Structure 1
Amino acid sequence: MSSSSASSANHDDDEHPSETTSSRSLADTVTVAHNFEITSYSLLDGFRPGEYICSRRFNAGGYEWCIRFFSKKHTNDDRFTIRCVLTVITPRTEERSAVVVPRSNLHGHLIEMLEDGEGKDVTFSVGGQLFHAHRCMLAARSPVFKVELFNGMEEKDDTRHIKVDDDMEPAIFQALLHFIYTDAFPYQYCGVDKNVPLQHLFVAADRYRLDRLKAMCEQKLCQSIDVHTVATTLALAEQHQCVQLKKACLGFLSSHGVLGDIQETDGFKQLVSSCPSVVADIVNHVAIASGSGRAAKRARVEATHSDSSSS
Structure 2
Amino acid sequence: MTNSSPSPLVSPTSSRSVTETVNGSHKFVIQGYSLAKGMGIGKHIASDNFTVGGYQWAIYFYPDGKNPEDNSAYVSVFIALANEGTDVRALFELTLLDQSGKGKHKVHSHFDRSLESGPYTLKYRGSMWGYKRFFRRAMLETSDYLKDDCLKINCTVGVVVSAIDCSRLHSIQVPESDIGAHFGMLLDNAESSDITFDVAGEKFPAHKLVLAARSPIFRSKFFDELEEDKQEIIISDLEPKVFKAMLHFIYRDTLTEDVDVDVATPSSSCMSSVSDTLTAKLLAAADRYGLERLRLMCGSHLCKDISVNSVAKILSLADEHHATELKAVCLRFAAENLAAVMRSDGFEYLKENCPSLQSELLKTVAGCEEDCSSGGKSRSVWAQLSDGGDTNGRRVRQRT
TM range (shorter): 0.5 to 0.7
Give the helix-richer structure, 1 or 2: 1
Matches within 5 A, 1:207-246: 207-246=288-327
Residue 291 of structure 1: how far off its partner (Å): 5.5
Q: Secondary structure of the equivalent of 2:256?
A: coil
Find the aligned partners of 2:252 and 2:223 in 1 and give their Cα distance.
22
Structure 1 residues 123 and 235: alpha-carbon distance in aligned structure 2, compared to 1, 3 A threshold: same
Q: 1:159 aligns with which of 213, 224, 230?
A: 230
Structure 1 residues 180 and 124: alpha-carbon distance in aligned structure 2, compared to 1, 3 A threshold: same
Aligned to 1:94: 168
Structure 1 residues 104 and 276: alpha-carbon distance in aligned structure 2, compared to 1, 3 A threshold: closer
Q: Deviations over 1:24-73 (max 9, x none)?
A: 89xxxxxxxxxxxxxxxxxxxxxxxxxxxxxxxxxxxxxxxxxxxxxxxx
Q: Which amino acid aligns with 1:176?
A: M
Alignment of 1:202 with 2:292, yes or no, is no
Q: Secondary structure of the equivalent of 2:300?
A: helix
Find the aligned partners of 2:384 and 2:174 in 1 and give their Cα distance.
67
Matches within 5 A, 1:299-310: none
Number of residues paired by the alignment?
204
Aligned to 2:361: 282
Residue 175 of structure 1: how far off its partner (Å): 0.9
Matches within 5 A, 1:51-70: none
Aligned to 1:259: 341
Residue 104 of structure 1: how far off its partner (Å): 4.2
Q: Secondary structure of the equivalent of 1:132?
A: strand
TM (normalized to structure 2)? 0.44
Aligned to 2:256: 186
**Are 2:283 and 2:321, in contact at CA under 8 Å, matched by a contact in 1?**
no
Structure 1 residues 23 and 209: alpha-carbon distance in aligned structure 2, compared to 1, 3 A threshold: farther
**Are 1:174 and 1:189, in contact at CA under 8 Å, matched by a contact in 2?**
no
Aligned to 1:129: 202
Aligned to 2:219: 146
Find the aligned partners of 1:294 and 1:24 in 2 and give their Cα distance.
60
**Are 1:206 and 1:214, in contact at CA under 8 Å, matched by a contact in 2?**
yes
Find the aligned partners of 1:225 and 1:294 in 2 and give their Cα distance.
19
Structure 1 residues 205 and 23: alpha-carbon distance in aligned structure 2, compared to 1, 3 A threshold: farther
**Are 1:145 and 1:208, in contact at CA under 8 Å, matched by a contact in 2?**
yes
**Are 1:201 and 1:217, in contact at CA under 8 Å, matched by a contact in 2?**
yes
Residue 282 of structure 1: how far off its partner (Å): 3.1
Residue 23 of structure 1: how far off its partner (Å): 9.6
Residue 250 of structure 1: how far off its partner (Å): 2.1
Once the two structures are overlaid, the 10-residue window that deviates more, 191-200 or 233-242, is: 191-200
Find the aligned partners of 1:291 and 1:228 in 2 and give their Cα distance.
17
Residue 180 of structure 1: how far off its partner (Å): 0.7
Q: Secondary structure of the equivalent of 2:219?
A: helix
Find the aligned partners of 2:301 and 2:284 in 1 and give their Cα distance.
14
Alignment of 1:109 with 2:182, yes or no, is yes
Find the aligned partners of 1:190 and 1:170 in 2 and give their Cα distance.
18
**Are 1:122 and 1:133, in contact at CA under 8 Å, matched by a contact in 2?**
yes
Structure 1 residues 161 and 199: alpha-carbon distance in aligned structure 2, compared to 1, 3 A threshold: same
Structure 1 residues 191 and 123: alpha-carbon distance in aligned structure 2, compared to 1, 3 A threshold: farther
Structure 1 residues 93 and 225: alpha-carbon distance in aligned structure 2, compared to 1, 3 A threshold: farther
Q: Which amino acid aligns with 1:165?
A: S
Aligned to 1:175: 245
Q: Deviations over 1:139-184 (max 9, x none)?
A: 11111001112237x8x53431111123x12111111101111112
Structure 1 residues 135 and 232: alpha-carbon distance in aligned structure 2, compared to 1, 3 A threshold: same
Q: Which amino acid aligns with 2:254?
A: A
**Are 2:259 and 2:279, in contact at CA under 8 Å, matched by a contact in 1?**
no
Find the aligned partners of 1:157 and 1:94 in 2 and give their Cα distance.
58
Residue 101 of structure 1: how far off its partner (Å): 6.5
Task: Pick the structure with greater CA Rg.
Answer: 2
Q: Which amino acid aligns with 1:277?
A: S
**Are 2:336 and 2:381, in contact at CA under 8 Å, matched by a contact in 1?**
no
Give the aligned CA root-mean-square deviation in angstroms: 3.5
Find the aligned partners of 2:322 and 2:259 in 1 and give their Cα distance.
26
Find the aligned partners of 2:212 and 2:12 in 1 and give their Cα distance.
45
Once the two structures are overlaid, the 10-residue window that deviates more, 100-109 or 249-258, is: 100-109
Residue 247 of structure 1: how far off its partner (Å): 2.4
**Are 1:250 and 1:285, in contact at CA under 8 Å, matched by a contact in 2?**
yes
Find the aligned partners of 2:247 and 2:385 in 1 and give their Cα distance.
47
Identity of aligned residues (%): 36
Give the strand-richer structure, 1 or 2: 2
Q: Deviations over 1:80-101 (max 9, x none)?
A: xxxxxxxxxxxx962437x887
TM (normalized to structure 1)? 0.56
Q: Secondary structure of the equivalent of 1:244?
A: helix
Residue 224 of structure 1: how far off its partner (Å): 1.9
